[in-house]
Structure 1
């Protein structure tokens, strides 16, 4: 019995002491309430918050019971069975896992404390991640941090018994809760308990990896320091899906609809609402990150001494997570079809563009899903047909050539899949836009000029992507740009002509929606004159309305730009650039410059789009494609 228990018993309070042992906190974690250091700090916290010792002890025990996991070996098998029942309603039973990496982690776990940090695409992520370990006899299973919103009737008790630690969304105002949580984390680290959580903190609604939430990581790193624990490895884990079960919810949230509250009814509706086949689930373990492995990222304003350890580690984890995310056929096809910017493409046109990107993927040695097949026209046609079945793509067959397109109402959903792989082509995209921004330069465009453009773009999109260090990223831009446009530095052919001869593939296809969203933010801020921007929630609603108006007036071209999440990062950039509030003359000048910049970049993207359209939709090009298709058919007939 802990000192807190004795204290409560002596004052006639026995309710918590009479709880059965199985309802007490994880294993012996309740003993932390008996530690002299904790009791001393609790007494100070009680005095600071105006609580009596009895009230403080009662509250401390309540906090610990609310958050702490109570893992039981006997609950793992039924929990695994339930998890499989949930995801196999729509997904293939066998998880696609890079088992070689998992075996290396098993060996590493013998003398290192492992902290698993995973991407968050679906409510099923934690199920899937734990199953990937459980099914492969990886022990001990890590305890998983979860939001208190998931501790609802019928699920919370089960989750807690398989290792869920439930945390409040915010507890900065509760000094005793913070005290208990700090000592609980110390206890777990001291006992070398592996831990896991989502580095993003919440599910990604855009498909891109969201900026890391540093709260839990800071708490854990501070505990490692207090416990002098240095043999720690952070394990990035990418979890990817052929199709996302919650895609309709994500589109609704991006359009400003309220989030549905989690409950037992919500959970049952989620489970039994999965009736369609959604393909495979992929779990990829990346190379672990040691506490001394992280370089300083380029992320904007930080402390004078540079980014914190948690920031550096989080960005390295996210970067490695991205680099093992498998590229899937539907992701590439979504990119191709969105790149047409509302136009329909024939199967032949889709194949020619997708096969080019597939060849680049192979050449660069990028990771692909096991079903990645875009090398021949039949494979591409089958993949497009599958996307039609998911209602992501529509077809029109009433003319001379059947065509496929992404309807306006599905652009946000299609952008989600495209965004899962944009980081692989970001250097090429920025190189293309940089060239387009330079077409009217009077002087020869060389490396210094292009690098200046690319770094301007990098600065604009700094809150959207995890950029590698500047020199390293610039080298990638040079390689990708020279691969596509080998003559760009020579000056014997205009950049305009080069862009038309080798139509762009990525700049317009993956960055238009972000640039247009930022353009909406810039125009709306300038419309305020010198007035401060309203509260972010109100302003986000204003931006959704303004974006809709600008789309109807064709000041922007895509439905995928009208996204609450893109506006949120646009406002983050605006705050960093001091565009939200400030002194009148300077504020107005900064807002005008922001609008000028987004206008310039959209003009460059439009030039890329024109070059693309001329290559794929001109009469001459259509004739060339027909001849190519006839030649291919004749060749096949000859070989037969």
Structure 2
């Protein structure tokens, strides 16, 4: 990411940034002239003029046909980079308010609350303004300058994996990004990476608690739309939000939300919450002319910015409310080392194909006002599948591996040579039997990993007559459980297999499979997980057995 530090820093140039309402030819000329380094050149596959014209000898008709093909091609290409054209926010709110569904909800609100239609419509308009983003390309360019500086101060690099297939998918599908949620940095980092890779930044569902003075305005212009924690007891707000989400998905805007609901305080992928998934599915049922794909995203950190507050919450302290002063605290933390950030794009999930497998008659529900009977179960399975694909795209970084090794040792300490052997064993195992084809792993050798984590001040070195001892103190050990939990599921199956050989040197396949079946049956009868989908419960040891049986 360091190559971006040479970009233009002039605020004047932002006035002539590219957007869908750029203006006349002179303004476009100035934009091209001032933003030369921001120009994206894309070479598409060649078009055969002979194949387009065919046997036609009508010159005028052939010219119109070529013009039409090129016009559609360039419109789609532009939308895949900038996103679809978004009308002025005021016009968007007006169009939302006058849709038949919201007009019906306004009438119901007026009757229920015994107020006039004008007052009820004013409430709906207030909700729409509270929710809707105010996407601005000049602000995106401004954030690009600020975040480029920020990332280079905070991290020693941002590693991106499996982004190329996404660029082709974005030209044919509406994209919904569903990343894991580890930090407030997540949505800034993901939007920045997509912009850097020539993809449109998504519209991001953010909690209303982030709609703070100044910060909320910047986030809103950067693509954030705000939502309340619950819609219960407010059918008018619920309808406005549903209609807004339908507008985004039906027009082909990329969106992003966290299916875990909140940030994980333990490092594990949390049980998915299906509210936003249900809204997306219902929007797709109303208009499925353009295919929609979910893109799971794994975001991993070698050192987390909010770790101190997480540890406090795990000790029972109340969660602190977000404040603009958090920005000052973040800037104060820039003097520390935070290692690298990692982003891996998981295997996309085509919603149409998923619905075909879950509810073959789903198209019969298209345009229906009510929730179809199969919706709850299908969205639950959808959440489990996406959580599994997020886990499958996990990144194994040096901090994860050192944490696993030291936390498994007595007093959280090992001799350096013993730790090297342990880390070498982990890397060989993961290289020979990778968790999935989307999993990424550090390319450092064991000794380099130790020095790397040592530079992050997460471990200590003590010199002894028999050699150096690598250890961590009690406070750091608690924090390191977070980084261990990030990748614990990757070692689940190898750990289970190893358990069968603890007390015996060999075991027959028949006895091995019988033990697995017995354990699985016991799990389903007696375990607190009740035999639920194990992608949703990756840390349940009985769930590992179900995984192994599938393998």
TM interval, short-chain normalised = 0.7 to 0.9
Q: Following the alignment from structure 2 to structure 1, what is the Cα–Cα distance between the partners of residues 550 and 398? A: 24
Deviation at 1:120, TM superposition (A): 1.1
Matches within 5 A, 1:489-504: none
Equivalent-residue separation in structure 1 for 2:410 and 2:266 (angstroms): 18
CA contact (8 A) 2:392 2:439 kept: no
- By how many angstroms is 1:46 displaced? 2.0
Per-residue deviation at 1:402?
A: 2.5
In 1, Cα distance between equivalents of 2:230 and 2:297: 26
8 Å Cα contact 1:26/1:69 also seen in 2: no
- Map residues 395-414 of structure 1 onto 2, 5 A cutoff: 395-414=461-480
- Do residues 278 (structure 1) and 338 (structure 2) align? yes
Distance in structure 1 (CA, Å) of the matches to 2:373 and 2:97: 38
- 1:342 equivalenced with 2:411 (yes/no): yes
Q: Which stretch of structure 1 is more off in the superposition, 156-165 or 252-261?
A: 252-261
Q: Secondary structure at the match of 1:107?
A: helix
SS at match of 1:188: helix
Q: 1:362 aligns with which of 421, 431, 440?
A: 431
Match 1:175 to one of 229, 232, 235:
235
Deviation at 1:218, TM superposition (A): 1.0
Q: Which residue of 2 aligns with 1:541?
A: none
TM-aligned CA distance change 1:316 to 1:450, over 3 Å: closer
User: Could you list the per-position Cα deviations for residues 222-262 of structure 1 after superposition, in whole angstroms to 9, with x for gaps in the alignment?
Assistant: 11112245611111111112221222222221111122211
* Aligned with residue 44 of structure 1, among 101, 105, 108: 108
2:148 is the counterpart of 1:84: yes
Give the Cα–Cα distance (whole angstroms) in 1 for the partners of residues 181 and 133 of structure 2. 21
Structure 1 unaligned segments of length 5 or more: list them: 1-21, 297-302, 481-640
What is the CA deviation profile of residues 380-429 of structure 1, one whole-angstrom value per residue up to 9, with x for unaligned ones?
2x433443444432333355432122322222211111111111111223
Range with bigger deviation, 44-53 or 398-407: 398-407
Residue number in structure 1 paired with 2:92: 28
Structure 2, unaligned runs of 5 or more: 1-85, 359-371
Correspondence for 2:318: 258
Match of 1:128 in 2: 189
**What are the Cα deviations for residues 81-100 of structure 1, in whole angstroms up to 9, with x where unaligned?**
222333332202x53112xx
Contact 1:145/1:166 (8 A) holds in 2 = yes
Cα deviation, residue 147, structure 1: 0.7
Q: What's 1:535 paired with? A: none
Q: Is the 8 A contact 2:385 2:535 kept in 1?
A: no
Residue 159 of structure 2 is matched in structure 1 by 96
1:233/1:310 CA distance change after superposition, 3 Å: same
Residue of structure 2 in register with 1:418 after alignment? 484
Q: Which moved more, 1:124-133 or 1:46-55?
A: 46-55
Alpha-carbon deviation of 1:64?
A: 0.5
Compared CA separation, residues 255 and 399, structure 1 to 2 (3 A): farther
How far apart, CA to CA, are the structure 2 residues paired with 1:196 and 1:189? Answer: 11
Whether contact under 8 Å (1:428, 1:477) holds in the other structure is no
Cα contact 2:516–2:545 (8 A) shared by 1 = no
| Residues 305 and 130 of structure 1: CA distance in aligned 2, closer, same or farther (over 3 Å) | closer
Aligned to 1:216: 276
Offset of 1:354 from its aligned partner?
Answer: 1.3
Would the aligned equivalents of 1:284 and 1:325 in 2 still touch at CA under 8 Å?
Answer: yes
Please list, as runs of the form range in 1=range in 2, the aligned pairs for 1:94-493 lying within 5 A after superposition: 94-98=157-161, 101-139=162-200, 141-229=201-289, 231-291=291-351, 292-293=353-354, 308-366=377-435, 371-374=442-445, 379-380=446-447, 382-433=448-499, 446-453=512-519, 456=522, 459-460=527-528, 466=536, 477=548
SS in 2 for 1:189: helix
The 3 A distance-change label for structure 1 pair 479 and 406 is farther
8 Å Cα contact 1:329-1:372 kept in structure 2 = no
Q: Secondary structure at the match of 1:403?
A: strand
Q: Hey, what's the Cα distance between the residues in 1 that align with 2:272 and 2:235? A: 25
1 CA distance for matches of 2:431 and 2:404? 17
**Contact 2:105/2:236, CA 8 A, preserved across alignment:** no
CA distance in 2, matches of 1:479, 1:228: 33
Give the match's secondary structure for 1:89: helix
Give distance in 1, aligned partners of 2:468 and 2:324: 45
* SS of 1:88 mapped into structure 2: helix
TM-score (structure 2 length as normaliser): 0.72
Q: Is the 8 A contact 1:232 1:290 kept in 2?
A: yes
Query: How far is the alpha carbon of 1:304 from its aligned partner?
Result: 10
**Contact 1:200–1:210 (CA<8 Å) still a contact in 2?**
yes
Aligned partner of residue 421 in structure 1, secondary structure: helix
Give the stretch that moved more between structures: 286-295 or 320-329: 286-295
SS for the counterpart of 2:163 is helix
Over 3 Å counting, the alpha-carbon distance change for 1:472 and 1:233 in structure 2 is farther
Report the secondary structure of 1:166's partner residue: strand
Q: How many residues align?
A: 440
Query: Are the equivalent residues in 1 in contact too, given 2:313–2:319 (CA < 8 A)?
Result: yes
CA distance in 1, matches of 2:430, 2:99: 56
Shift of residue 146 of structure 1?
Answer: 0.6
CA contact (8 A) 1:435 1:450 kept: no
TM-score with structure 1 length normalisation? 0.63
Once residues 115 and 547 of structure 2 are traced to their aligned partners in structure 1, the CA distance between those partners, rounded to angstroms, is: 59
Question: Partners of 2:316 and 2:500 in 1: how far apart?
Answer: 33
Cα pair distance change 1:58/1:435, threshold 3 Å: farther
Distance 1:437 1:44, change over 3 A: farther
8 Å CA contact retained: 1:392, 1:413: no
Taking the TM superposition and a 5 Å limit, the aligned residue runs for 1:511-550 are: none
- Which of these residues, 116, 120, 140, is aligned with residue 56 of structure 1? 120
